[in-house]
Amino acid sequence: HSGPIPTEIGQLTQLETMDMPSNELEGPIPTELGLLRNLLYLTLQNNKFSNATLPTELGNLKFLETLEMNLCGLGGHIPSEFGKLRSLALLSLGRNLLNGSLPSELGNAASLGRFEAKTNLLTGPIPSELGSIRGLQTLTLSRSNLTGTLPTELFSLDLRLARFNDNGGLHGTLPTEIGQLTFARILSFGTNQFSGTIPSELGLATSLRELKLGENSFVGTIPTVLGNLIDLEQLEVDDNLLSGTLPTELSELTRLRKLFIDKNTNVTGTVPSEYGLLTRLNWFEIYARNGTIPTTFGLLVRLNELKVGPSSMSGPIPSELGSLSNLLVLDLEDNDLGSSLPSELGALTMLSALRLQGNQLTGSVPSELGRLSFLTSTQLQLNMLEGSVPSEVCTLESLSVLLADCSVVCECCETCCADDRQHCEIEDEGTDEGGPKGAGKGPPPPQRRRRTKSYIRGERRLRSGRH
């Protein structure tokens, strides 16, 4: 169906269900919908009401139980009249252009169990009145421009899912009452300005599957009690101001698939070898100031991405990493890793990106890397490698970027930075793991891994004919 909703629809006063998702509906949303006093379900998501507003008359639908209008191009404010919808159980308004503040009157929608308003242009604080909705279990307010602190009243609810990530302006501390969310499965606070310590009471939320605290300003240590969250599948505490050592207790989280504990430059000590027990991991990003890469990482055979550092980790690259047959990205850049490149890396037949720049690697480039038929980018510069790039590497059809120091002979490369510095400027945007880290708040959010332009001394690039 396409075109506008006819205003005559208001004459269907006995209508109970209006289910018209994923059509080509456009134009304004008629105020006459407010005449459908017997309406129970109003589902209009994924249409094209470009910059249409939500009619305040919808607040007259006292029997309405479901209102789904996400991905409709809606603009304007959320009407305060929605607080009169005492039968409303589901309110979904995500992925629109709604602006203004969240009306405090929503706290009167006593039957509301699920409220989603993610990816809008909402501003202002989260009303404490939402804490009055005793049956509220799902609250998704991510990816907008909300500010202020989190109302403690929210943590007295029986929340099962709460997302506040990617607002940028939410701040303050996480209240200790967070430990009352014993049945919560997903808690997401990433990409904001939260500070203070990570509450140890989180260790009581033993039903958690996802806990996202990354890209904030948390201080103190990573609580050892997080090791109690044995059902956890995703943990993000990266890009904070955390200190202390990495807790061994995290090795108890054997269901983890995604673990991000990097970019906390005040963390000291070494990486616990026990992390090799996390054999379900698919994505793993870690930082430790000292020590070596544990050989037990070779047990993480489900890994798709492994990022270590940048830090002062030293020692060799463990040959055991050659067992990671599902690895797509190996990023060990900007550490103090030494010794030679292990030939076992040639067994990583799914690898597409190899980032080893900025270390103290010695010896030659092993010919076994020529087995990596999916390799698109290899960065070996800023090391102490010698010899030549093997012909097996040069003939890889997929390879589009090969960077190495001028001390390495490369018949398939051109442009040495020592001779021509104008070709030294590169920009590497890294990868963006849509599952672990995620999308925007109106405009897209900051990428999880990003690098500014840098000058690489001794760079060699593949000839243009091989791109």
Place of tokens 């989603």: 116
Distance of CA 158 to the CA centre of its chain: 25
Domains in the chain: boundaries: 1-148, 181-268
Q: What is the pLDDT of residue 414?
A: 56
C-beta separation of 34 from 55 below 8 A: yes
- How far is it between the farthest Cα atoms of the chain? 83
Q: What is the pLDDT of residue 424?
A: 40
- CATH code of domain 181-268: 3.80.10.10
Q: What is the pLDDT of residue 196?
A: 98
- CA 218/CA 283 separation, integer angstroms: 22
Residues 427-431: contacts with CB under 8 Å, at least 24 apart: 427/451, 427/452, 427/453, 428/379, 431/305, 431/329, 431/353
Give the contacts of 340 (CB within 8 A, at least 6 positions apart). Answer: 316, 361, 362, 363, 364, 366
pLDDT band (50, 70, 90) for residue 439: very low
C-beta separation of 360 from 383 below 8 A: yes
- CA 27/CA 44 separation, integer angstroms: 13
* Beta strand extents in 291-412 (DSSP E only): 305-308, 314-316, 329-331, 336-338, 353-355, 377-379, 401-403
Nearest CA to 215 out of 445, 52, 467 is that of: 445
More confident residue, 431 or 104: 104
C-beta separation of 378 from 399 below 8 A: yes
- CA 76/CA 80 separation, integer angstroms: 12
Mean pLDDT throughout 226-232? Answer: 98
- CA 300/CA 282 separation, integer angstroms: 8
A 10 A CB-CB count for 450 gives 11
C-beta separation of 53 from 75 below 8 A: yes
- CA 152/CA 213 separation, integer angstroms: 18
Q: Is the dihedral of CA 319, 323, 325, 331 positive or negative?
A: negative
Q: What's domain 1-148's superfamily in CATH?
A: Ribonuclease Inhibitor (3.80.10.10)
| H-helix segments, 229-318 | none
C-beta separation of 400 from 376 below 8 A: yes
The values of phi and psi at residue 306, to 5°, are: -130, 120
Whole-model pTM: value is 0.88
- What does each C-alpha distance from 169 to 19, 123, 144, 220, 349 come to in angstroms? 36, 9, 9, 21, 43
Nearest CA to 77 out of 60, 58, 101, 50 is that of: 101
pLDDT at 454 over 60: no
Distance of CA 103 to the CA centre of its chain: 28
- Mark residue 417 as left, alpha or beta (left: phi above 0; alpha: psi -120 to 50; beta: remaining): alpha
pLDDT digits (tens, 9 = 90+) for 35-75: 999 999 999 999 999 879 999 999 999 999 999 999 999 99
Nearest CA to 86 out of 69, 61, 104 is that of: 61
Q: Is the dihedral of CA 409, 411, 412, 413 positive or negative?
A: positive
pLDDT at 307 over 80: yes
Q: What is the pLDDT of residue 408?
A: 87
pLDDT digits (tens, 9 = 90+) for 231-267: 999 999 999 999 999 999 999 999 999 999 999 999 9
Give the percent of the chain with pLDDT over 90. Answer: 82
Nearest CA to 342 out of 325, 326, 362 is that of: 362
Strand 329-331, strand 336-338: pairing:
unpaired
pLDDT digits (tens, 9 = 90+) for 108-143: 999 999 999 999 999 999 999 999 999 999 999 999
Nearest CA to 199 out of 214, 217, 218, 171 is that of: 218
**Burial, 421: exposed, middle or buried (Cβ in 10 Å; 0-12, 13-18, 19+)?**
middle
Mean pLDDT throughout 8-34? Answer: 94
Rounded to the nearest integer, the mean pLDDT of the chain is: 89
Q: What is the pLDDT of residue 410?
A: 82
- CA 31/CA 58 separation, integer angstroms: 8
Q: Do domains 1-148 and 181-268 have the same CATH topology?
A: yes
Q: Which of 107-116, 351-360, 383-392, 425-434 has the lowest mean pLDDT?
A: 425-434
pLDDT digits (tens, 9 = 90+) for 269-282: 999 999 999 999 99
Give the contacts of 464 (CB within 8 A, at least 6 positions apart). Answer: none
DSSP annotation of 393: H
